[in-house]
A and B are shown apart, each in its own frame.
Chain A
Amino acid sequence: MRRLLHLVVPCLTVLSGCYGTDKGVEVPQDEIYFPVGLALDPRAAKPDFLYVVSSDFDLQYNGGAVQSYDLRTLEGDLAQPCPDGLCPATKSRKVCAKGEQDDADRLLYPGPCKSLTPSDYQRGTVKIGAFATDAIIRQNDAESDLPRLFVPVRGDATLHFIDVDEDGGLDCGQFNNEGACDKAHRAGEEPSDNVRGLKLAAEPFGVDADPKGKTLVVTNQTTGTASLFVTGDWSAGPKLQFALSSDRIPQRPIGVVNVPRAEGDSATDADGETYMVTFRDSAQVRLMHFAPDFGSDPNRPFLSDGGGVGIDANSSGTDSRGIAIDDSLRKDAEKRCAGDDKCLAQAALVPLDVYVANRSPASLLIGRTHPPSQFPYFYDTVPLTVGPSKVTVGKIKTPSGEYETRVFVICFDSRRIFIYDPLRLRIETEIFTARGPHAIAVDTERKLLYVGHFTDSYLGVYSLDLAFPETYGTMLGALGTPKAPRSSK
């Protein structure tokens, strides 16, 4: 009887989309549990810390967690690419710090080495609500302001924000709140924070922000809205200001990305920020413009629907997921301008490359903008395997020391990550990952790719070192012991 109830109650809880209000089982601070978001510390080109968001997807615990890991230490315990395969970081070490993994285990958990223990590298941890979905990090202009993580959380329909210090410590008011982010760090809960009396709609999913974190847009899957947060006073954090409702945009927005501004952009401050949004049930990408409403008194910022462009490069084109923009060509042009206004105006006309992970059919959509228009047009599509879910643009360092753009497309269902080379217009390689690749972070300087394996709750570290083709895209180490989902045991 008890066993039956054990089976039924969690199922009903999951189906209802809620989680218990009792204290429940505390989140283990030394585990990665259904990771959904990764972010690298923005303070250095070779980042010191990796931030990992765990979602507690099966509600085993009383919340999710955000943890920071010291990459300087972790790096030394990873196997290193060598001409003949893998070798240790230094002569005094072994290739696998914790020993080699059994061959039988490598089918589900690729890589030669046994897992590393998260607590050995962890520098900070806080508890958040359950069902986090993503993570981004932004740094304000002011030197005194610490970089800040923004994490949408479905469980309590909030946008958590967490400051990170120089030592990887995390602060979201948890010290007086039993280790969990306090109310002041959970934006979207309090209607009085905005003049419209709004609360964040249910099921926040995707998030992106302008480079300074002054405007943020969160997509809400089930309500079909796009929610706008605006950061006025950095110390007070972002406040929900507006929700672009589903009668203005298609149902089920998913991916969102900020459209990078040109250096010569005449718009001031956050005025002029634009976001691109993808949808699960509509073959289009829409633009949403941030309107600061400076001309109105009282000032009530909002998002205006800028219209959409159809995705015609695919036979169907519906069910788009992640979206990413690469502005490196424009940035290169701006660098060459050396501050010359006329030149910058020309550089502003350099198109932005836009990439969308699309599932009908499974493909990477390739498009670009046509400045000054910010609408993308999609001119190419690259077939992929089942289940493209996210797309990220990153740089890799070539053996000759040059930086080249790569597009990383995660196919969750088929447990692969495709690395697309936009210069050569081809898939450079595909990484066969462990189960459920979900979140990634590209560490250009270390030539590493961090992958959060959602299904088995651990982090994989893969080589992006082109100097060693044999090991390019192979796993060099794992952080956290793989754990199959309870339902599969």
Chain B
Amino acid sequence: MLRSLVLALCAGALLAPTLGCSDQEVVAQLRSLSASEDALFLCRDDAGNGHPYAECPDRDTTDDLKPGKHLSIYALVSQTLSDEVAVIDVSSGNVVDADPSTPGFGFLRVGGRPVAMATTPGGTASFVATADVGRNGLFALPTSCLGAPAAGEPPRDLTTWPACRLPQTPGEIAMVVQPFGDRDCDQKYVPKAEASDDATCQADLANDGGVEGRRLLLVSFPDTGEVAVVDAQKVLDTVPGEFPDCDIETIPRLSLKAEIPAGITQTLPPDLQTQCTEVPPPSAPVPSAMAPRPAGFALSDGKLYIADRAAPVIHVVDTSDACNLTELPSLLPMSLREPERMVTTRRVAVSPLTPGGKRFVYAIDAEDRPFASVMAFDVSPGSTDPTPIVRSGAPELPGEKPDRLSLDGPARDVTFAYRDIPYVDPDTGAAQFGDRCNPDPALDTKLPAALARPSTDLSLGARPGLLRGLFGFILQTDGKIAVIDVDDFDADCRRPATVGESFRGCQGDLWETDFTGSQPGAIQTDDNSHQLVTGEVSCRVVEPNRIRSAHPIVNNTSSSAAREPSLRTFPQLTVPSTAPTADSVERPRLLAVPFEEKGAFVDAEVLIGASVYSTNRMAAQQLETNPNGRDSELMESQNAVILPPLEPRSYASESRVQVVYEGSYAGNRNAGFWDELQEGDQGSIALRDDSLSFCSAGVYDQAAMADYGQNELGLRSEDAAAFGVEHADYVQITSDFPAVDDPEYWSYLNRDRDASLPKASRERCDALFLAWDADPLSKSRNLKIVSAFDGRLVLTPVSKKIRLRDFQECFPGAMTYRLRAGGHWVVLHNDSFIHDIVASGSNSACVRSCSPLKKWSKGRVFEISSSADNCRKTDDPGDPLELRVGCAAEGEVACVYDQGPKGKGRGVSLADAAARCIFNGLNERFALYRGRVETPPDATFTWQTTGGFTPLIMSMGQLSSSVSPQSIQYLGPLEDLAVVDGTNLGLTLFSLDTFSVVKPSPFY
């Protein structure tokens, strides 16, 4: 029986696959590339000859039958695990099999791990630097031998290639051309006759196309900090199969220096200049104690920029005379936020010179936190600043480092693309590179600068999807490629139609006349029916050296691609179900407030769903601003909020905003325990939590709250002190007590206990603090925060009936707790709390920051209440829609205003002292009016914003979720980006027109 059963199971197992079979053919995708790291591109004809890269792609197809005339772009891709170089015919979309005689794809074997590659200007030969224990060398791969061997030729193997041994581990290599001259070094190298006798894979660089001159390889030696010069022809002339020493002695080596001139600091933009003592002025980097260790190369116009992994410099080497390399003053990587950190670099890229005469270097700060970031240096002709650029506008982007391009993942590599799509003058038929879009209404509309203006639906002309100018590209380790605006030729046309409005970031506007049209909200058009400008909501949609937007940021819905930050719905108020019941008219209201410009209100608009709402009383769809406005009963919502357009980048693509009364802002903590009291803590108890920095969490103690009252709300100092005591944050203990049957705890506490003390027990704790799962929790569990330090809080019980010992006995060990705002509201964005608290002084006290970078770090909202003159209690008789703003408490002075008499109730005006309580954040502007019933803790206004700033990102994620990108470069002739993946995608091309993968890539 058992035998039958087992046999049946076996038979079933054998049959199962066949039952699941279908007629559909399953094609296994075999991947021949592995652990790819770098790619090199060259132009090659069918006869195997190299050509200058600019001759590709082959646009003349009429002569393709002639092997020497049909040109293809070839990619050499280093394979670091198999010590090979893979060959890809990019033009035909095929991986080249260099060994058809064996199954699978055969690649070109080199003698060690390929670490760098370079090719000659004419594409005649490529060179591979290899690094392996005992196998450091240079291998020459003549372009004629990149394919399979011809009939009668031996298979391609290690002995095919001319190669020479390097004395130490090579780093990067680069090819330079030394013009022929009279010096020995400038002489044309003459190949040795015997070198090429039998070899099939050798090349004569005398025939190399492109600039005439001697081809020299620059080879870095990281261990000694040197750059050596090797004649490329000499490498080609070594006998294949032998491995003689490379001639690196004929031309002097350059020893790199790590000299940091004293006193050079970063230049701050005006909006970061401050007298705040908390913000130290930029300081010069400390002199490097480390010897140079050259890393990535970037070569342009006779200058070689060399990243350095050990010393805080980016070397600049003048290569115009390779026989006598000279080091110029270095660029100086440094960090504004971490001046003490020695910033080193791994990869570097240099841009072409723009028509405006600008050139930039981007370098990767691989050890920046939380992610490797990118520094930008201005290396334009005439620039003398060797430090990373500090951008203006940083206060409006509090998550951004002012001198770094930081994305949501570590940067792996960088490159630049200079790209133009010239507009043709219809009269002359001429086109010119570098024309900038010009919105000037007086401009002749036939000029290319006018032709570059946007169409009314933003599908043509200036727009995010059109890359015209100089752009940077940052490849992240997660496979994303971010597009960076460096010099967008269309930037001047991407702006609001109105001018000079500071709340749109347009202060200091170059233009004086509005670009608005004759109809409300319309934009002026020109004779070409093009809009003068895009009408985007802010003057900051295109900013140099910041990530590019994927969409136009406009508040009209005519273009499906257009988006500005908008509300999904009006703010909604929810109160805990356990709160006393009350009519909605008795509850607090959160209302829109118009913008302020030059001391007066300016109407504001907000997009809600697909409709535009305005604070303008004449608008078709209005937002309420007056808490006593009876019109609001007819409106869609009792609550409203404005989304300021100052800095679109400050908006997440999706965000849930909550404004919570006495809100918990640091989550549910679970590792708090009592700390020993220190001098001055009498009458208090101290809480410690190793898992939390209280200052980083944003705790406002009594002193911080008093400071807020005085400096933000304009209170007198004595009022501010009382305000601090009243509104400081508090700790709410949420722990349960030790179990009744805890093996030792209660009996231990009662052992030898002082008779005057009540017996310790869970029952007693229950009586004092009530249950841990009661809703709401007992206020006896609350402790006011008297003083806050980074590592501890000093607390006093809210209830005077509770002794400190009761807390210690009922909540031993690790306790759970929450940090809550005291008698005010907190703003949470996607559950995170933005605040302005920092640790200060030797005791790391939590204080309010004076840094300009914290200017917009606002997270606390105070209810605006009514003075007693025109105040109505909830149980007073009368129309409940009158005098809706709740009364100020006795002695309350902050955020109190006169709401006016019945029938003439108003909202707060700019003339009121309470106007300082208008919440004017980066992403929301509103006033919160007190209701006539007491606001319960956890009462919450909630809204969602969508369509915020969406960065222009390409991603390898569309191909695979598991990628490990290694390098990126711009293929000028194809206008594509090439990305090499170390996992299994090999080589992938991305289009800069569609921002998607170019088929048939990826090549693997």
Contact = CB atoms under 8 A, between A and B. Distances in A.
Contact of B367 (A8, A306, A368): A368
Interface in B77-108: 80-81
Interface of B: 2-3, 6, 34-35, 80-81, 113, 115, 131-135, 169, 222-223, 295, 309, 346, 366-372, 408-410, 477-479, 670-671, 673-676, 690-691, 743-745, 748, 812-814, 956-957, 960-964, 966, 982-984
A315 B691 contact: no
A197 B115 CA distance: 57
B659 to A, nearest CB: 26
Interface in A331-366: 360-363
Contacts of A472: 133-134
18 contacts: A289-B691, A291-B673, A304-B671, A304-B690, A305-B670, A307-B691, A313-B371, A313-B478, A314-B478, A379-B371, A381-B477, A381-B964, A383-B35, A383-B80, A383-B966, A424-B169, A425-B346, A469-B134
Given A1-B2, A295-B676, A377-B369, A383 B983 contact: yes
A8 B133 contact: no
A429 B34 CA distance: 16
A304 B410 contact: no
Given A305-B671, A379-B372, A424-B222, A361 B813 contact: no
Interface string A363-400: 10000101000000111110101000000000000000
Contacts of A12: none
Interface residues of A, number: 52
A305 B668 CA distance: 13
Contact of B371 (A298, A307, A312, A370): A312
Contacts of B671: 289, 291, 304-306
A315 B964 contact: yes
A427 interface: yes
Contact of B3 (A1, A248, A312, A383): A1
Contacts of A196: 743
B690 A315 contact: no
Contacts of A4: 2-3, 6
Closest 8 A-B residue pairs measured CB to CB?
A: A469-B134, A383-B982, A304-B671, A361-B962, A361-B983, A469-B133, A315-B478, A383-B964
A314 B369 contact: no
- Among A195, A309, A466: residue with most chain B CB under 10 A: A195
A423 to B, nearest CB: 8
A469 B135 contact: yes
Contact of A302 (B131, B309, B370, B814): B814
Given A312-B410, A429-B132, A300 B366 contact: no
A298 B676 CA distance: 16
Contacts of A313: 371, 409-410, 477-478
Contacts of A5: 2
A120 interface: no
A287 to B, nearest CB: 8
B133 A428 contact: yes
A295 B673 contact: yes
A297 interface: yes
Given A314-B477, A315-B478, A291 B814 contact: yes
Contact of A312 (B131, B134, B478, B814): B478
Nearest to A274: B690
Nearest to A383: B982
A195 B743 contact: yes
B81 A426 contact: no
B990 to A, nearest CB: 16
- Among A8, A314, A469, A472: residue with most chain B CB under 10 A: A314
Given A295-B673, A470-B134, 11 more contacts: A4-B2, A8-B6, A298-B744, A304-B670, A304-B814, A313-B371, A315-B477, A361-B962, A380-B366, A424-B223, A429-B132
A391 B39 CA distance: 29
A378 B671 CA distance: 26
Contacts of B410: 312-313, 378-380
Contacts of B408: 312
A26 interface: no
Contacts of B961: 315-316
A58 interface: no
A244 to B, nearest CB: 10
Contacts of B35: 383, 385
A371 to B, nearest CB: 12
A361 to B, nearest CB: 4
A429 B133 contact: yes
A298 B748 contact: yes
Contacts of A141: none
B94 to A, nearest CB: 24
A305 B691 contact: yes
Contact of A289 (B690, B745, B963): B690
B810 to A, nearest CB: 13
Contacts of A316: 961-962
Contacts of A8: 6
A426 B477 contact: no
B813 A300 contact: yes
Contacts of A315: 477-479, 956-957, 960-964
Interface string A420-446: 000011111110000000000000000
Given A1-B2, A370-B369, A298 B745 contact: yes
Given A295-B675, A380-B366, A426-B131, A304 B691 contact: yes
A197 B368 CA distance: 46
Contacts of A314: 477-478, 964
Given A304-B690, A472-B133, A426 B113 contact: yes
Contacts of B743: 195-197
A487 interface: no
A296 B812 contact: yes
A105 interface: no
A306 B169 CA distance: 42
Contact of A427 (B113, B744, B962): B113
A396 B671 CA distance: 41
A167 interface: no
A306 B691 contact: yes
A66 to B, nearest CB: 34
A285 B916 CA distance: 44
Contacts of A370: 369
Contact of B670 (A248, A379, A383, A424): A248
A293 interface: yes
Nearest to A310: B370
B449 to A, nearest CB: 42
Nearest to A363: B964
B518 to A, nearest CB: 51
Contacts of B478: 312-315
Contacts of B670: 248, 304-305
Nearest to B966: A383
A405 B684 CA distance: 50
Contacts of B675: 295
A293 B674 CA distance: 10
A382 B408 CA distance: 19
Given A300-B813, A315-B962, A427-B80, A380 B132 contact: no
A250 B724 CA distance: 40
A385 B81 contact: yes
Interface string A297-327: 1101010111101001111100000000000
B965 to A, nearest CB: 8
A195 to B, nearest CB: 6
A363 B479 CA distance: 14
A26 to B, nearest CB: 30
Contact of B372 (A197, A291, A307, A380): A380
Given A8-B6, A316-B962, A430 B813 contact: no
A274 to B, nearest CB: 9
B409 A466 contact: no
A430 B963 contact: no
Contacts of B956: 315
Contacts of A380: 366, 372, 410, 477
